[in-house]
Every structure is written in structure tokens, then in C-alpha cells.
Structure 1
Amino acid sequence: MTEIRQLIYQPPREPPAPVETMSFAMLRRLDDGWTQRGDFHVLAVVRRGCGRVSIDFSDHRLTKRNVVWIRPGVVHRWQDIGDLVGDLVLFLPTAPITPGSRDLADDPHASACWAATDTQWPLITTALGHLRVEAGAAQDTRTRELLGLLLSALLLRLSPPTSAGRAANDIYHRFRNAVEEEFRVHHDVAYYGRRLGYSPRTLSRNVHAAIGRSAKDYLCERLVLEAKRLLAHDRLTPARCGQRLGFPDASNFSAFFLREAGVRPGAWQTANLAVRP
């Protein structure tokens, strides 16, 4: 039986808006401590207090001026949030945001949790306040357009740190999207090169320019992350996990996981299930 709760975006009113705002007080009323995975973005801005959030097997301590960005499909769990004060913004991947903010929303290498700088903080809180007011207004075509613009302004003001500050490029974006669609079936960089019309060398050069790692490294990291989700949250056996991820037999998957994670999948699962609440 899975221990992960799948969340579907359900705005509280009609007509539905692509953006919703809420407080940590409301989150405390709704959250029951389950590990969750949603089909929407969650942005949280902490004004004061302390707490924790676990995001894809990484624990983050939360305090004043921390920003959290949980993207769709990311496994997470809120912990010890009893005294947190701040705002959360929920929005769909299809929210009408500007191209620059879309690049931020689609970047899987942007940080999940970071501290806003002294310069950023007043700009973030101003953008957040304006968005909160419009999100509470009556919904019509004009309001929906304003919500997209105000959300875009907030995302651009947040400016999450990215891998070594490297700028992404079109080839990398296409590769990333292709991997997300087919990583459970295709583990060969050459396949993605053929699909996108580039040699493996050209593909890896562009991926490295965007994120500082090779295309093969990116593909392996995505596989390992999904394997950990399946082992820890869905509690699949290592053999079943390997099958789900397209490995021909359990020994191949075990060798791959050992090489990438430094431990056998069964041992990793046992250790992580042992510390789960």
C-alpha cells in the first residue's frame, strides 16, 4: 500500500482560478502530516517562526525570510510548522505566466528552499501582497489576466538560485522534456539525441553548458530520484522498482543504483523506511 497522498488542485470557488493564496494557519488546518505529491506548484514565503519541510529526501529547516518552491510531482512533507507565519501560493503548471517566469517554473535544477536577500525581501512581500489581494477578488477574465501577471512578477522577484548560475538553452529544455516523458523506458543518451536530431556529443555539450553536468549524469539522477520515490514512498521491492523503471532484471537495477547512490537499493530502502514516521 502506498504511503504517499496524491493531491489534485481543487480551487475553493467557482469559476476556478489558476492561482490560489493561503496562510500557514490554513495549511495547519488542512495538513495531516502525510507525505504528499501534488499536480500543482506550491510557493511558501516564511515571515516569521521556525519549522521544517522534507522535499524529495532532503530536509530543510525553515525560518524568517525562507522561500520554499515545491514543483508538481515532487514528494514532500511539512513538519513542525506550528508557529510558522507567512503565505503560500498554489498555482497550476498551465497558469498564464510570462515566458521569463515560465523558464523559472520549468527549471528542475532551481533550488527548492533558500533565503531571500535583504534587497529581495521588500520586493517579494510587495508582489505577494498585491497577488493576495487580486486572488481574493471576484474572478473574471480581467482578474485572471492580472493574476498571471502578478504571479509572474512574484516568480521573477523570487529569483531562485540555479545550478552555478548557468543559463539554460533550447536544446537542454527539449532534452529535459524528452527525459521526463521517457526516462522509464529509455536510459541511453544516444536515443534522446536521435529523437531530438543531435549527436550524443552535441547534446551533452549543450546540457553541460546549461547545468554543469553531462546528459548522462542528468538522466541517471532522474532515474535515481524516481527509484528513491518508489522504494521509500510506494514501498515497491527493488525488483519491482527496477521493472517499473525499465531495467531488464533486478541485478542490472541493483548494480545501477549501487553505482549512482553508493548503496544497494534494498539497503537504502531499509534505512529510509526505518526513519519514516
Structure 2
Amino acid sequence: MRDRVGQAEFADPQCPHFHLLTLVTGGNGRHEIDFMSSEFTSGAVWWVHPGQVQRWGDVYAYDATVVLFEDAALDSTTQSLLSTSEVHRQCCWHEVDPSVLALFEHLAWSYGNQSSSRPGASAALLRHNLATILLTLRALTPDGKDPARGHADASIVELFSAAVERGFATTRSVGDYAHEVGYSEKTLTRSVRAATGFTAKQYIDARVMLESKRLLAHTRSTTSSIATQLGFTDVSNFAKFFATRAGMSPSDFRTSLGRTNH
């Protein structure tokens, strides 16, 4: 990748429309996903999902195996098992189990030894190897949920999270989501707090803030246009919402990333 595109390609924030799974095989550096920056050394893994914003550090300071794939590479059952909320998605593992390294090696072997006479079998092997890596990483990720909660509460949080993902650009009202999932605001907030540490309102606002930062980082849309996309009645309301939570204006946030308004 470095030889093909050069350093300039890695300078600006990127928002890929595909998955980018990376295993660091040597050296050390820094990488940022959705505005959370992490230092890493050999053996670290990160996973950028479609729609997330990433910023590369010095890509000449380390070597890595990078796997690019789309959702279609995974069957529906695997996709469902891997699903998690945008707000609480783990994307970086600083030191994975040696078994994960072996799985990457097997994926690389499968890729390099594809059979021209049996392309279907080779493709299936690649998909299964990839799914095994991702499910293993998911198994290594604490889910952050209170084990004392009942199954019903887990269902409530899943319904709420999916509803927020569909509607965060339309409504930020807890009442709207409570009505959609069929529970009272009190029950909804109690369940969400137990699962995430956030109130339902804080969870909604965190999702809106995440999307705000993504749009400011990787698009050329004006602050006014972003406000409209996220359902704010006017740009001043959006600016106040953003500044209260980020400690700076949308314009200043964009400038801090080396971007300017157009």
C-alpha cells in the first residue's frame, strides 16, 4: 500500500466504505479510529468498520498485514454475531492471543494458495478464515454488560440501539425511542444505563456527536449542512450542542484536524 499510493494518501482523515482489519507485524506507531488515538507495537490488531473515520500515523514506522473486505464477505449469521453499537464498538486490541496471530497466518496462506481449479472452495476457505478471526476477536472483547441483568433487559437495549442507529438523524427524544421499542422511558433508561453506563439520552447524544465529528472530519459539508443532515432546526442549535459536549465549536474541531470550512 505504501509503495502504491505514497505517504500523501495517508495524511488526511479517511472514511472507508469497507472493513479494514490490520495486524501489526513489526515496529510501532499510532493510529486513530473515530477520534480515539492509540499507540501500538508488534502484535496489535485494529479493525476499522465502514463509516468510521481513521487517521494513520507514520506508516513507514511499522509493517502490517492489512485485510480489506466488504460485509458480503461474511454470512448473515456471522454478521449478526459481530454486531455491536457504534458508540461502544471496540476497534483496537493492543496485544492479542497467539492463536489470533496463527489465524492471520492461515488466512495469508489461504490467500496465497488459492486453487484456480476450485475457486469456489478457495473463496469459501477465505471467508471462513476471516470469520474465525473476527469471531475470535469478538470473544476477546468484554461486552461491558452487567451479568446480573435479565434477558429481557438485553433485548430492550438491542432494540434501542438499533432504533437509535436508524433514527439518530431524525430525533433525539428518549420518548420517541421508548414509544418505538414499546417500553417506558424509565425502563428504557434503566436498561441502557445498566448495559452502557449512559442514560438513554446520553447514548443518543453520543451517537449524534460521533456522526457530527465524522462528517466534520471527512466531508467538505458546511456546518450548516451538517446541522441539517443531523436534524437540527438551525445551525446555532447544532453549534451549541456540539460545543457543550466537545468543548469547542464545530469549526474549531474541524480546524484541529487540519480541515477548513468551505
Q: Shared fold by TM > 0.5? A: yes
Are 1:56 and 2:41 an aligned pair? no
Q: What one-letter code is carried by the residue in structure 2 that aligns with 1:111?
A: Q
Q: What one-letter code is carried by the residue in structure 2 that aligns with 1:126?
A: A
Q: Whole-Å Cα distance in 1 between the matches of residues 21 and 85 of structure 2?
A: 14
Q: Whole-Å Cα distance in 2 between the matches of residues 179 and 36 of structure 1?
A: 24
Shift in Å, 1:212 = 2.2
Task: For residue 179 of structure 2, give the secondary structure of its aligned residue in structure 1.
Answer: helix
1:112 aligned residue (91, 97, 106):
91
Residue by residue over 1:4-33, the C-alpha shift from the partner in whole angstroms, topping out at 9 and shown as x without a partner, is xxxxxxxxxxxxxxxxxxxxxx45534622
Shift in Å, 1:48 = 1.2
Q: Is contact 1:49–1:63 with CA below 8 Å preserved after alignment?
A: yes
Corresponding position of 1:71: 49
Aligned CA distance change for structure 1 residues 209 and 114 (closer, same or farther; 3 Å) = same
1:1-277 aligned within 5 A: 26=1, 28-30=3-5, 32-33=9-10, 34-97=12-75, 99=77, 102-108=80-86, 109-117=88-96, 120=97, 122-136=98-112, 137-138=114-115, 140-159=119-138, 161-162=141-142, 164=144, 169-273=154-258
Q: Is contact 2:20–2:47 with CA below 8 Å preserved after alignment?
A: yes
Residue by residue over 1:95-152, the C-alpha shift from the partner in whole angstroms, topping out at 9 and shown as x without a partner, is 33584674335443232222124xx1x2011111122222341364433333333222
Corresponding position of 1:16: none
Per mean C-alpha deviation after superposition, the further-off stretch among 247-256 and 68-77 is: 247-256
Aligned CA distance change for structure 1 residues 162 and 212 (closer, same or farther; 3 Å) = farther
Number of equivalences? 247
Q: What one-letter code is carried by the residue in structure 1 that aligns with 2:157?
A: Y
Aligned Cα root-mean-square deviation (Å): 2.8
Aligned CA distance change for structure 1 residues 107 and 133 (closer, same or farther; 3 Å) = farther
Q: What one-letter code is carried by the residue in structure 1 that aligns with 2:189?
A: S
Q: Whole-Å Cα distance in 1 between the matches of residues 105 and 76 of structure 2?
A: 19
Normalised TM-score (structure 2): 0.80
Gaps of 5+ in 2: 148-152
Q: Is contact 1:43–1:69 with CA below 8 Å preserved after alignment?
A: yes
Shift in Å, 1:226 = 1.4
Corresponding position of 1:23: none
Residue by residue over 1:161-214, the C-alpha shift from the partner in whole angstroms, topping out at 9 and shown as x without a partner, is 446465793332332222222211111122122222222222223322332222
More helix by share: 2
Q: What one-letter code is carried by the residue in structure 2 that aligns with 1:116?
A: E
Q: Is contact 1:97–1:149 with CA below 8 Å preserved after alignment?
A: no
Q: What one-letter code is carried by the residue in structure 2 that aligns with 1:29?
A: R
Q: Whole-Å Cα distance in 2 between the matches of residues 100 and 213 of structure 1?
A: 27
Q: Is contact 2:15–2:218 with CA below 8 Å preserved after alignment?
A: no
Q: Is contact 1:227–1:241 with CA below 8 Å preserved after alignment?
A: yes
Gaps of 5+ in 1: 1-25
Residue by residue over 1:18-65, the C-alpha shift from the partner in whole angstroms, topping out at 9 and shown as x without a partner, is xxxxxxxx4553462243212221111112112332222233223111
Q: Whole-Å Cα distance in 1 between the matches of residues 3 and 39 of structure 2?
A: 17
